[in-house]
Structure 1
Amino acid sequence: MIRLLWRDLTLGVRAGGGFGLGLGFFLILVTLVPFGVGPNAENLAVIAPGILWIGALLACLLSLDRIFALDFEDGSLDLLATAPIPLEGVVAMKALAHWITTGLPLVVAAPALGFLLHLDGAAYRWLIITLLIGTPALSFIGAFGAALTVGLKRGGLLMSLLVLPLYIPTLIFGAEVVRRGADGFLVTTPLMMQAGISAGSVALLPFAAAAAIRIALR
């Protein structure tokens, strides 16, 4: 399992489908926002939590189709499905690799990008916490969507349509925690809701994704 994780991490970095693509998109999106809404610091501070979370969501979405597509094309997915290791574990390792190459760099870069949007100083801690808690859910939900569309021609658009509605709760609660943290309000309820979504995604979706892959490979 560790070798599979290391293999996917290496491919994600070398192929340019993880770290560079997602981080670059995140940077471009946040940089363009002030040009669209104006440079007023107060306005940017109000919309900063939502913009940063939308940017993280879309950046994760960019590389989802690569989770299983390359392995399906070269036949590696068939070998992994018949290997002695559980297919659910394979899905979990691939989703984890996607998070490390895509979600984790966004967590590291978010504070610097928050500065560009004049994010309130009290919100930085909550921004990092919510991204650390919420981005794993984005990767595991995305892995489930990628499993549903594996083998389909031009399945990227269909996968986006399937995955985006499932991303909305994580987006809502993540942005709400950052907004409440900036205003000095209690963040317990939305933070627990986001943590519950992430925990449920990590625990359940590898089984659903593995079932979808078995059906696609028949």
Structure 2
Amino acid sequence: MLRAVVVRELRLAARRPADALSGLAFFLMVGSLFPLALGPDSVLLRQIAPGVVWVAALLAVLLGQHRLFEGDHADGSLEQWLLAPAPLPLLVGVKVGAQWLVGTLPLLLATPLLGWQYGLGEEVMGVLLLSLALGTPSLCVLAALGAALTLGLRGALLLVLVVLPLSVPILIFGSHAVTQSLLGLPAAPALNLLGACLCLALLAGPWAIAAALRLALE
């Protein structure tokens, strides 16, 4: 059943590539606007690069997440999940993981394009990619929690209001790791904190999302 959930998510993404690639297009567009607007000041671009890339990644993750469970709710899949032999938190975790593969992994693959625009070196680029690899799964879990809490409500503003305060520590740790690397300082402490946030999200996130879905279905 877990494999069926993953296959279903991949097939939906293949049938609607615009939904899957909209986050990538938004990420590249937002990240590319700042070098065009600020000009060729390499020092300034390197200073703002960590914050810009991380904010763009957060907004790209949140884009369209309010519809994460709407299709499953409309066709009765969520009710079937409640009756399935597999635990609901495990099914939810598999769905969020599949969504990360489809919608967020392309952001990591496109990050070097933005890094070159901001004049980031190879070492800094590696820290940026590692921080995004550790931080974006946590953002996806938080976005899924917001989608579950706002299931059945119209509009995405409430989801943004729920998720943004919770994502502030991840943004701080992620951008701080890249900034430390730019200054020639060790980025390991900030990366370790991102890893701790990821462990917490993986352990507690699926259970919280499952509880929110049960409340929405009652």
Map of 1:125 onto structure 2: 126
Q: Work out whether 1:193 is the aligned partner of 2:193.
A: yes
The answer to which of 75-84 and 177-186 deviates more is: 75-84
Q: Summarize the alignment of residues 192-211 of structure 1 with structure 2, pairs less than 5 Å apart.
A: 192-211=192-211
- The Cα of 1:130 is off from its aligned counterpart by 0.6
Give the % identical residues. Answer: 39
SS in structure 1 opposite 2:17?
A: coil
- The code of the aligned residue for 1:95 comes to V
Residues 24-75 of structure 1, C-alpha deviations (whole Å, 9 max, x = no match) = 0011111111233333121111111111111111110103123211111222
Report what 2:113 is aligned to: 112
TM-score, with normalisation over the residues of structure 1?
0.94
Instruction: Give TM-score, length-normalised by structure 2.
Output: 0.94
Structure 1 Cα separation of the partners of residues 34 and 102 of structure 2: 25
- After the TM superposition, which residues 134-149 of structure 1 pair with which residues of structure 2 at under 5 Å, given as runs? 134-149=135-150
> Counterpart of 1:152 in 2: which secondary structure?
coil
Three-state SS of the structure 1 residue aligned to 2:127 is helix
Amino acid corresponding to residue 16 of structure 2 in structure 1: A
- On the 8 A contact 1:17/1:66 being kept in 2, the answer is no
Letter matched to residue 71 of structure 1 = D
**CA separation of 1:178 and 1:6: change in aligned 2, threshold 3 A:** same
How far apart, in 2, do the equivalents of 1:120 and 1:179 lie?
A: 12
User: Where does the alignment leave 5 or more consecutive residues of structure 1 unmatched?
Assistant: none
Deviation readout 1:123-158 (Å, 9 max, x if unpaired) = 01101111111111011111111111112233x211
Give the aligned residue type for 2:28: L
Aligned to 1:84: 85
User: How far off is 1:17 after superposition?
Assistant: 5.8
Separation of aligned partners in 2, 1:53 and 1:40: 20
Alignment of 1:171-182 (within 5 A): 171-182=171-182
RMSD: 1.4
